[in-house]
Amino acid sequence: MDNQDNLLNNDLQIDDISMQHLKETSGWAKFLGIVGFIFSGFIAIAAFAAGATLSTIRSPFSGSYGRGLGASIIVIYLLMAGLTFMISLFVYRFGSNGKAAIASGDQTSLNESLRNLKFVFRTQGIITCIYLGILVLVFVFGGLAALMR
């Protein structure tokens, strides 16, 4: 435990190699953030296109049931677009603050850059946990359905 305390109390410094890595990573992060913004816009457009298309589906037995399906697809796609936009925003902020920190040597910009990187990984971790939970539920209910047959 004492060794960990000493590591945390040392004054870590960013050397030239770390600076180069941060500079290159910041450039790629800005690029990926911008591409993510564009993709989130495409997802939002696809939400309304898919919703409009699915709302025209008609059942031969009971008439139109596509309106509920179309509305639910719009909501799901808009949630996906929002999550994509949020993650892209954090990635873009990481890149732009990282570049600003390198250019000016500002510790506050570096801290803000790393804070946004933390948000990227936290958000992706939460999404992964939700996804894994849904997979477990699918397997459990799928197994129960197979046993009941």
* Listed residue (91, 80, 85, 77) closest to 37, CA to CA: 85
Mean pLDDT, residues 55-63:
64
Q: What is the pTM of this model?
A: 0.80
Euclidean distance between CA atoms 2 and 26, whole angstroms? 34
Confidence of residue 72 (pLDDT cuts 50, 70, 90): confident
How large a percentage of the chain has pLDDT more than 90?
Answer: 68
Contact 88/102 with Cβ under 8 angstroms? no
Q: Tell me the pLDDT tens digit for each residue of 28-42.
A: 999 999 999 999 999
Residue 60 in this model has a pLDDT that exceeds 70: no
Sign of CA dihedral 88, 89, 93, 99: positive
* Integer angstrom CA distances of residue 45 from 118, 139, 143, 145: 29, 32, 37, 37
Output the pLDDT for position 43.
Answer: 96
